[in-house]
Amino acid sequence: MAALERGATIAVIGAGSMGAGIAQVAAAAGHDALLYDTNPEAVIRGIETVGRGLDRLVQRGKMSRQAHNELLARIKPVATLEELADARLVVEAIVEDLSAKETLFTGLEKICSQETILASNTSSLSITAIAANLSRPGNLAGMHFFNPAPVMKLVEVVSGVSTDRVVAETLFDTAAAWGKQPVHTRSSPGFIVNRVARPFYAEALRLLEEGAADCATIDAIVRESGGFRMGPFELMDLIGHDVNYAVTCSVFNAFYQDKRFLPSLLQKELVDGGLLGRKSGRGFHDYTEASDKPLPKTAARVAAPAVIEVIGSLGPAEPLLANWQRAGIKISRIEGEDNKVRIGSTLIALSDGRSATQRAADNGEPDTLLFDLALDYSGAGRIALAAADQASTKAAEDAVGLFQAGGKTVSLIDDTPGLVVMRTVCMLANEGADAVLQQVCDADAVDTAMQSGVNYPLGPLAWADRIGPALVLEVLINLQRAYGIDRYRPSLLLSRKVAAGASFYSKC
């Protein structure tokens, strides 16, 4: 298999921001890109939009004027579908409506050659369903770009039941030749990104519903501790709640109302009220000019402990020790169960999916506090802590002071199972594991898709390997026990990896 040659003509149907962006990507790779829309004015606007974007690149010195002109000249407006007859690849980027796409591709089969590859940019519809009534269903695959297409690297190459393997491989190689990061995925609800990403929003919404913390604090924890570029509420506001909620509902219904994808009533309220995020001026955050940006809840400064005991290994949190040593804290290490720190009667432990209150009751140690997962414990700017309901004020101050001495801003949140980053990452890894188990894609595709498509700091399965699949499984089991619902059921693949002592990047 090989990419389409540079001389091959590419056609794009739909001249909105996505379609015009895809045409720009093809033209930048040296192809003539034919751009069609049922509204001729949309084609003109689409090409003008591309031109303005290229102008900005020229102004910033990232493109020469000659390259600008040559690229723009390769995007050619066409007035009829019949003018697409010689295209080697036709990419559809029209409305997300199954009937409209079926009608379009049925017509294209009569116009284009038998070798023409037909691709849909759908983000949610079944490729198998779109191809069902075609005479050559093997020629159709998904080629799902992410917006803005000229900037975002990921392309999901989606194979339906009837998609010819050569067609999928050609699209994969072509996307790579265009400078993209392609991944193969089977046609399944949400493909990779829109499926695996659901817990990023869902867990934050549940935490907010339960009063664990406010939006600004959860966003700050996810950014400053988890290393994500945006917090979940910031990102939902940016995407638009109408869009984000609709995708969640689509995935939920496509999986026959699997509780793992249950939509949030809190988000539905925003949609019903027209509070759609940035585009309406208000969502979870207020974007009007007169509004003050809310600040995350941050613990007041307290004294650091002079001496601590570290019990066993701190596992993924082991880098904290160097921070505490630099702060002059005396550290002694003793044998025992991992992931614990003791300051007198105060016990501080890495979250294992239980609430601090439950863990204090289980261990008979009332002065228990839990700390959250971090992408990089050494460099993370913020850490979330939760105190058991039984814990004393002195115990909370011990824990806060310890992490502040290590250079962390501390957010004390209400006691909740799994805290913020830990439960989010474990649920992302769990969904990624299920996608692999169900042969939607492989582990590398999951991680590549989430990093290239939505800018995650680390792929969820690679992150699971980093902290240990056994800890991920323990967190999920404890979350399921705490809530008593199927939402947190561990993936069979995760359980198998733990039983075999294997990681996601090794065989069971």
Task: Cite the active site residues.
Answer: 123, 144, 156, 194
Q: How far is CA 508 from CA 85, 443, 493, 501, in A?
A: 49, 13, 9, 8
From CA 351, how far away is CA 369, in angstroms rounded?
9
- Asked if 284 and 270 count as a contact pair (C-beta separation under 8 A), the reply is yes
C-beta separation of 142 from 157 below 8 A: yes
For tokens 């996810």, the residue is 222
* Single-letter amino acid, residue 455: N
Strands (E), 33-176: 33-36, 75-77, 89-92, 117-120, 140-145, 154-159
Distance of CA 5 to the CA centre of its chain: 33
**Crossing angle of the two packed helices 241-254 and 198-209, in degrees rounded to 10:** 110
Residues 6 or more apart in contact with residue 177 via CB below 8 angstroms: 3, 4, 29
Which residue shows structure tokens 């650091």? 304
Sign of CA dihedral 326, 331, 334, 340: negative
- Record the tokens describing residue 116, joined without a space: 């023409």
Distance in angstroms (rounded) separating the CA atoms of residues 306 and 428: 38
Question: What is the residue whose two structure tokens read 């307290």?
Answer: 302
Among 448, 467, 470, residue whose Cα is nearest residue 459: 448
Residue 296: how many other CB atoms lie within 10 Å: 19
What's the order of all strands across the beta sheet hosting 330-334?
330-334, 307-311, 340-343, 346-350, 368-371, 382-387, 409-413
Alpha-carbon distances of 157 from 47, 150, 320, rounded to whole Å: 25, 17, 41
Q: Which residues pair with 349 in a beta bridge?
A: 340, 370
The first and second tokens of residue 294, run together, are 């809310």
Taking the alpha carbons of 286, 292, 295, 297 in that order, is the dihedral positive or negative?
negative
